[in-house]
Structure 1
């Protein structure tokens, strides 16, 4: 009976993640799309600390383009990822695989495909090379700044989160309320 419940839970999660992606337009997301910084209606600074964001919640308007300036004041690598809980759960699995492959360390993402003498360039996940290049996400190393600009559509249950293994579970998640 426990195996059936577990299988149903996995199936439900898989269907939720697939639905979130299916609702997204080609090359985009159901809750919005990336935009050039020059098109921003406003700029919001988000401070990333070890296991928190400041501010922890944000209100935006549907149709608004927001330029997020992300400042990592923590000692660890952090991520700013826009999505709903199901998308974050799926992305956390990908990030875990990247960490296991040696592409992700506590303070950095290896961009050159090499780590500890291993060539990671040939490693694949889901038929494509493992890398962190989703348009709704950015990694920020300790003491660094980064930006992400996004035009929002109407959405509910939207969050910004850090999906580096263990960070979301430690509370590094904020709410993003999209107003009509």
Structure 2
């Protein structure tokens, strides 16, 4: 019985770290806007980001102000290629989704825990709206920022984020 308790304790300790319900990723974690050392505006267009690439420094906390100037709902999602693939599957599986037109959706309608929107690395922004995401980058890693609304990533709505 002691071995079972020890094994369970070790298993729980090996799970991802969560802060305020947000997952800690290898490349960093969500942060309060008050900790930001720099603010970067990211404009979402149909189907593009401005700027097309971003550079940050390891240890830097960046406040992203995400402005949707497009006619479609878009995401700003930080992650590696594998994370984007998984998130795209989650987005496609959401009930009642109209591919490419998520005009009536917001995070409260999406159901936390099953689509990646409660982990702090993603904001969904409706047309004409803005949102913020603040992130502390911990170490260099191959990261992208992307829109994972079905079809948008594949259409080129993805950019490289370099952590120096």
Shorter-normalised TM range: 0.7 to 0.9
Q: Does 1:174 align with 2:159?
A: yes
Deviations 1:89-143 (A, max 9, x none): 0100000001xx1156432315565xxxxxx97xx9xxx5567322100000000
Q: What is the CA–CA distance in structure 2 between the aligned matches of 1:165 and 1:80, rounded to whole Å?
A: 13
CA contact (8 A) 1:46 1:69 kept: yes
Q: What is the CA–CA distance in structure 2 between the aligned matches of 1:51 and 1:23, rounded to whole Å?
A: 36
CA contact (8 A) 2:116 2:122 kept: no
Q: What is the CA–CA distance in structure 2 between the aligned matches of 1:145 and 1:87, rounded to whole Å?
A: 24
83, 102, 123: which one aligns with 2:96: 102
How many residue pairs get aligned? The number is 145
1:135 is matched with 120
Q: Which runs of 5+ in 1 are unaligned?
A: 1-21, 114-119
With normalisation by structure 1, the TM-score equals 0.73
CA contact (8 A) 1:72 1:144 kept: yes
- Where 1:68 maps in the other structure, the secondary structure is strand
1:148 is matched with 133
With normalisation by structure 2, the TM-score equals 0.79
Distance apart, 1:84 and its partner CA? 0.4
Deviations 1:30-60 (A, max 9, x none): 0100001011000000000011000010110
44, 57, 65: which one aligns with 1:48: 44
1:3 is matched with none
RMSD over aligned Cα atoms: 2.4
* Distance change in 2, residues 1:82/1:112 (3 Å): closer
CA contact (8 A) 1:24 1:30 kept: no
